[in-house]
A and B are shown apart, each in its own frame.
Chain A
Amino acid sequence: MTPKRKQRLMMVCLMLCGVGVAVAFGVNAFKQNIMLFHSPSDVAAGAVKPGQPFRVGGMVIDGSVKRSSEDLAVTFELTDHAKNIPVSFTGILPDLFREGQGIVAMGAIDEEGTFIASEVLAKHDENYMPPEVAEALEKAGKMPGTRANFDSKTVQP
């Protein structure tokens, strides 16, 4: 390699390192803004004030979904396997919404600590299988979990 080319190679490497470090700092500084949602643990730790809009994400606790008999109101509890948060929502839920499913809700907490949601989105996991296989795995108690565990990425204020 001629010295000229070596020099150019060094320049390209330096440029990549520089930009990489700059982006890493930038992304780290904006961590709180890049996180799409807060976990129930964050909310319990007081990351957001009542009335301040934000997103919360977690698993719908089995048996916690209560539907109103008159309108579309529904209440349920979300968990990140550490803390829970009660959620109330009036409107049409996505098809994938069910107990044990991960969801992300937009809204704000009221004075009592209930999350009043204005929008509920379903988060599906990365597992794909035919219904028969799912049934068999369920029976054997070997249903694969998702790696998107809601408790590993909390943002403390």
Chain B
Amino acid sequence: MYRFADRLAPWLAGLCVLCLVAGLYLGLVVAPADYEQGDSYRIIYIHVPAAWMSMFVYVVMATSSAVFLIWRLKIADMVALASAPIGAAFTAVALLTGSFWGKPMWGTWWIWDARLTSELLLLFLYLGYLALRGALETPQSASKAAAILAIVGVVNIPIIHFSVEWWNTLHQPATITKFDKPSMHISMLRPLLLMVLAFQLLYFHNLMVRVRALILQRENRASWVAELAEKNHV
């Protein structure tokens, strides 16, 4: 597992940088301005991928927590732990960029709208997960308690997704949906999808690096870790 993460990480990093550069260039330079919002809509190229990833990472975290609870796989627990700070960062970016977008377009930085509130709740779930892990003394009980919190919190994900359809909100409905044709011109859509891919790769790269570190930490008494340290003159 350690070797798998070790080998995969640089490839993911390279691909991520490639998509990021292409997506940003196409999105910020090539894509046309919007008919209504002008150039300020371009923050969508950060906002939407970050918001999408904030939910995706949580689903990964909750799934691996469930796997850990049922099968007691240590690696699943590590994936969940490694994902939490990344997910929290994506959520914070989504909230901040949303705020920067809301001020010029809607006329307010923040409103207690169902979409915004449930996304803020997601940030607190990530932070709560990390705090809970830090608060309990023994690693075993911390893993178990945090896994339960992660699974319980997953009910927030459909709420975030459907909030704009179930309730009256200031936030607009989704632009890209599975069933409808996306309500975005193709020249603007392509860079957006590239950016989503780039953020996806960014997450997986980060995950690999973090899981690698967690494995080393947990196995710090194993002989192969000692050999590795020897080889790298640590």
Binding site for B on A (CB under 8 A): 5, 8-9, 11-12, 15-16, 19-20, 23, 27, 31, 34-39, 57, 93-96, 104, 119-135, 144, 146-148, 150, 153
Contacts and interface: CB of A to CB of B under 8 A. Distances in A.
Contact of A23 (B106, B151, B159): B159
Interface in B138-180: 148, 151-152, 154-155, 159, 164-170, 172-175
Contacts of A131: 32-35
Max chain A Cβ within 10 angstroms of own Cβ: one of B108, B114, B154, B172? B172
A118 to B, nearest CB: 12
Report the 6 A-B pairs with minimum CB-CB distance, sorted nearest first: A134-B35, A94-B107, A130-B32, A129-B185, A131-B35, A128-B184
B190 to A, nearest CB: 12
A3 to B, nearest CB: 12
Nearest to B112: A36
Nearest to B108: A121
Nearest to B106: A121
Interface in B98-115: 104-108, 111-114
Contacts of A35: 167-168
A60 B151 CA distance: 43
26 contacts: A15-B152, A27-B159, A36-B114, A38-B168, A57-B168, A93-B107, A94-B107, A95-B104, A96-B36, A96-B105, A96-B106, A119-B107, A122-B106, A123-B172, A124-B106, A125-B183, A127-B183, A128-B184, A129-B188, A130-B33, A130-B188, A131-B32, A144-B183, A146-B173, A147-B165, A153-B166
B165 to A, nearest CB: 8
A130 B70 CA distance: 51
Contacts of B183: 125-128, 144
A148 B172 contact: yes
Given A12-B69, A16-B154, A121-B107, A148 B37 contact: no
B71 A5 contact: yes
B44 interface: yes
A23 B166 CA distance: 14
A44 to B, nearest CB: 16
B224 interface: no
Interface in B20-46: 32-37, 41, 44
A153 B167 contact: yes
Contact of B170 (A16, A123, A130, A144): A123
A130 B114 contact: no
A57 B41 CA distance: 23
Main secondary structure of the interface of A (DSSP, over half): mixed
B66 A12 contact: yes
Contacts of A133: 35, 185
A94 B105 CA distance: 7
Nearest to A131: B35
Contacts of B35: 129-131, 133-135
Given A19-B155, A34-B167, A134-B35, A94 B148 contact: no
B187 interface: yes
Given A94-B106, A129-B35, A153-B166, 8 more contacts: A11-B69, A19-B152, A104-B170, A126-B183, A128-B34, A128-B185, A131-B32, A131-B35
Contact of B37 (A37, A96, A119): A96
Contacts of B114: 34, 36
A12 B173 contact: no
A15 B70 CA distance: 13
A150 B170 CA distance: 11
A121 B107 CA distance: 5
Given A16-B155, A36-B169, A148-B164, A128 B175 contact: yes
